[in-house]
Structure 1
């Protein structure tokens, strides 16, 4: 499998999880979604050099303050040298280190579960997915609004057991890549292979859409999930993390 560049994976991941509002400031993508998830409410340095970093940080802080949100920075290998240290010295804690992994679709045994269902619209998926993910009901309108802004093709997947949602997941296809997101299993049904079945089902959908490479993002400390993905052939591409100050 040819190596997929960090930039391509980062751009695909940002497209797959859209914000409600964005601003491009001197090569840094600022994303706003009423505070729902750090991915959609953080500054992403994706272009630009390492000059004037204190001024750039101050500009980001002003933008988020004007929106009534705290400043959060998402740092990948695309971030300029020196930014992580500057934020560390300014009181921003490093949190939620995440591993981006990729796999060659040709090397994965893929088959959709017989009880895998693809819902027609984001609005049908949000409620059962939020319940499985144990997200508060008040976040559902924001999540639905975000997903409805997605440009690439998406699969809003549910896995049923006894006619009821037992697992959920989101797959997004763009230019030969399929990204896997929001995979969650009913807490009462964990350790029963549902996470693997959900992952394989989403991959099967992606392959049917012409995807050749799969990618996903998993918290670095989530050993069970990383072991599951390693068994499917996923390998680390790069990592990102957040810098955030404690909420006032």
Structure 2
């Protein structure tokens, strides 16, 4: 049974935990040493009771004190006046994104076949524990600073439920990665990346199908987020069966 969308948004925050969270008048101020916007933003699912400009100013002071930008995450569940207020305060709107969902019953019985040459030997590996090697490979493919690995480890250690770190190698070379968090009947998919040399060859579809298939004994639904402008990723997810559930975006103080 699928969750109401606001509860799904709340679950996605739990699955991607901040290292430190402070509560202010219904908002959650999430802080994680600057690693990812979603773990370093103000979640505005709950409406505030005070004047918006007062609370916004208090958020700015807090993030200024830790030398991080003030970032608000806006969803359909945020109070309607907040986005307009932030716009008037010259906050930039960045990364309009989509939350996608699917029932794992929709997953095809057969895996997608990557379009690789006959000499390509594919090896799939799924670990159910924190892997330093996986994190190092992710930093290498994504460009994330390796100095953030301790923060990444702490965040993963705080994740509830079952962790699955999937990797796909071609002839011994890491070609694609993805993370799954399985909890409360849902599979949250994070950190999906394919090496540039292996993009547009169906490898990501194969990896995600394999990962989701491994999760089926523990969950019945899945969700993932994608930047709205990322058309190649959206095509991959649509072929697997994901559909748009709602949109969200960030407002960042310049």
Q: TM > 0.5 between the two? A: yes
Range moving further from structure 2, 41-50 or 22-31: 41-50
The equivalent position to 1:245 in structure 2, one of 232, 248, 253, is 253
Report the CA distance shift for 1:63/1:107 in structure 2 as closer, same or farther (over 3 A): same
RMSD of aligned Cα (Å) = 1.8
Deviation at 1:141, TM superposition (A): 2.1
Deviation at 1:95, TM superposition (A): 0.3
Q: Do the aligned partners of 2:96 and 2:248 also contact (CA within 8 Å) in 1? A: yes
Unaligned runs of 5+ in 1: none
Q: Secondary structure at the match of 1:69?
A: coil
Q: Do the aligned partners of 1:36 and 1:142 also contact (CA within 8 Å) in 2? A: yes
Range moving further from structure 2, 217-226 or 41-50: 41-50
Distance 1:68 1:152 in 2: 32
User: Normalising by the residue count of structure 2, what TM-score does the alignment of the two structures yield?
Assistant: 0.90
Distance 2:163 2:191 in 1: 12
Q: Which residue of 2 aligns with 1:11?
A: 10
User: Normalising by the residue count of structure 1, what TM-score does the alignment of the two structures yield?
Assistant: 0.92
Q: Secondary structure at the match of 2:226?
A: strand
1:161 aligned onto 2:170: yes
Deviation at 1:215, TM superposition (A): 0.7
Q: Which residue of 2 aligns with 1:190?
A: 199
Distance 2:149 2:170 in 1: 23
1:215 aligned onto 2:223: yes
Distance 1:51 1:81 in 2: 14
CA shift digits 1:78-103 (9 cap, x unpaired):
11110000000001010001100111
Deviation at 1:139, TM superposition (A): 2.2
Report the CA distance shift for 1:119/1:237 in structure 2 as closer, same or farther (over 3 A): same
* 1:76-225 matches, cutoff 5 A: 76-109=75-108, 115-124=123-132, 125-209=134-218, 211-225=219-233
Deviation at 1:4, TM superposition (A): 3.2
CA shift digits 1:16-41 (9 cap, x unpaired):
21111111111111110111111111
Distance 1:214 1:187 in 2: 26
Distance 1:110 1:174 in 2: 23
Unaligned runs of 5+ in 2: 113-121
Paired residue total: 244
Q: Which runs of 4+ in 1 moved over 4 A?
A: 110-114
Q: Do the aligned partners of 1:180 and 1:202 also contact (CA within 8 Å) in 2? A: no
Q: Which residue of 2 aligns with 1:35?
A: 34
Deviation at 1:51, TM superposition (A): 4.7
Deviation at 1:132, TM superposition (A): 2.0
Deviation at 1:187, TM superposition (A): 1.1
CA shift digits 1:25-79 (9 cap, x unpaired):
1111111011111111100012135651111111211211222212100111111
Report the CA distance shift for 1:191/1:135 in structure 2 as closer, same or farther (over 3 A): same
CA shift digits 1:93-132 (9 cap, x unpaired):
1000110011111111156797321224324321112112
Range moving further from structure 2, 230-239 or 4-13: 4-13
Distance 1:212 1:221 in 2: 28
Q: Secondary structure at the match of 2:213?
A: helix
